[in-house]
Structure 1
């Protein structure tokens, strides 16, 4: 019988992976800033049409802009933390699903240890 099990994928922080993560954070931050600018532009455009109530329109757009600003703050915090982390640190990258085979007579492990795959610069370094 086959079962689906969650496997954690961790990344060892190297100079190149640190730079790659920094670039990803910066790109995401820039995208969110562009979205904020676009929302401001759309708000001004829709205010001129006078087809919507100005209060509800502004409230809706401000809510969307605020959500993006919160995400930008989170990304800035992640960038700060990235600079603090020493090389060689293990970062949880994601979780994937794996099929495992079980049969009668196998030992059922309830120790709670989750299988982990450790990668370094895109290459699998260890499977625990």
Structure 2
């Protein structure tokens, strides 16, 4: 019999990973800022077309813009936290599912204990 088990994936912080994550966060912030500018442009355009619906249009677009601003703040926070993390520390990077084969006589506790995949600079360093 086979079962599916979730396994945590963790990355070891290196200077290379810090640079990659920082670049990724910068790109996401840039894209979100572009989306805010596009929304402001669309808002202005719609207000010119429908001046009678100013309140509804403004509320709708401000909600979307504020949502993106919150995401920007989140990525800026993640950048700050990344700067503080020491080299060699670990961060979680999600989960994967593994197919495990069960056989009679196997130790159930060994199968159910938490397992982890450790990755350093894209290379699997340890399986626990």
TM score, norm. by length of structure 1: 0.95
Correspondence 1:106 to 2:106: yes
Distance verdict in 2 for CA 1:84–1:112, change over 3 Å: farther
- Aligned residue for 1:104, secondary structure, equals coil
More helix by share: 2
In the alignment, structure 1 segments of 5+ residues that lack a partner are: none
- Give the RMSD, CA atoms, in angstroms: 1.6
Name the residue aligned to 1:74.
Answer: 74
Distance verdict in 2 for CA 1:124–1:110, change over 3 Å: closer
Distance verdict in 2 for CA 1:111–1:5, change over 3 Å: closer
In the alignment, structure 2 segments of 5+ residues that lack a partner are: none
- Aligned residue for 1:109, secondary structure, equals helix
Instruction: Give the whole-Å Cα distance in 2 for the aligned partners of 1:42 and 1:34.
Output: 12
Q: Could you list the runs of 4 or more consecutive aligned residues of structure 1 that deviate by over 6 angstroms after TM superposition?
A: none
- Aligned residue for 1:58, secondary structure, equals helix
